[in-house]
Structure 1
Amino acid sequence: MPVKNEDQILAFFKLHKQDFHEKYGVYKIGIFGSYARNEQTEGSDIDIAIEMEPEKKNLHNFLAFKRHLENELGRKVDLGIESALKSEARKLVEKEIVYV
């Protein structure tokens, strides 16, 4: 069943944060975009920014984590590594991101 709001997403993140770190090396996670602003629609994707431990930061783990989130949350996920965002995009994300 697809998540419906920010609270459900954040609750899922809190519940699984340790697992995300152990399996994928994700040590920082937050949502931004329409879900963070409570403006999501039925077709909205979930914008998620993460940071990963250097030893686990690779394409395989990144894509596996994205697939895991999409399967568990029931929505398309737009996943990005926050530190890799261009400065203009990072400024926009920083204004509205909600971290766990």
Structure 2
Amino acid sequence: MNTKQEILTFLQEHKDELLSRFHVSTIGLFGSFSRGEQHASSDVDILVDFDENVTDFYTVKTALKEYLTHAFDRSTDLARKKYLKPYAKEQILKDVIYI
């Protein structure tokens, strides 16, 4: 997957699976892909939050990252909104496209 629309379509079409399998409550695309500025070596930046009942965030987040990296066939970075660094938070929230 190499375009913003392909990534957003994938996320939308797999939203139910993301909820049931990975307990995703919100998910969106940000970074170079959301701005249409990606290049061949760009990674996919995903902003994600999980259901409150998730207790093992590390395991769930790692599994989700592997799943999306395989689906997009490129490196994927996951960020949680509550852990965004203050210096980057404003730009990320400006760029994010939620599905």
Q: TM-score, normalised by structure 1?
A: 0.93
How far does the alpha carbon of each residue in 1:35-87 deviate from its partner, in whole angstroms, 9 at most, with x for none?
Answer: 01101001000011001012225100000000000011101001111122122
CA contact (8 A) 1:24 1:56 kept: no
One-letter code of the match for 2:67?
Answer: H
The 5 Å alignment of 1:23-62 reads 23-56=21-54, 58-62=57-61
CA contact (8 A) 1:48 1:78 kept: yes
What is the SS of the residue equivalent to 2:33?
coil
Q: Which runs of 5+ in 2 are unaligned?
A: none
Give me the whole-angstrom Cα distance separating, in 2, the residues matched to 1:59 and 1:80.
12
Residue 65 of structure 2 corresponds to residue 66 of structure 1: yes
Q: TM-score, normalised by structure 2?
A: 0.94
Give the alignment's Cα RMSD to 1 decimal: 1.0
Q: Which runs of 5+ in 1 are unaligned?
A: none
What is the SS of the residue equivalent to 1:43?
coil
Give me the whole-angstrom Cα distance separating, in 2, the residues matched to 1:76 and 1:87.
24
Q: CA deviation at 1:4?
A: 1.1
Give the % identical residues.
30
What is the SS of the residue equivalent to 1:54?
coil
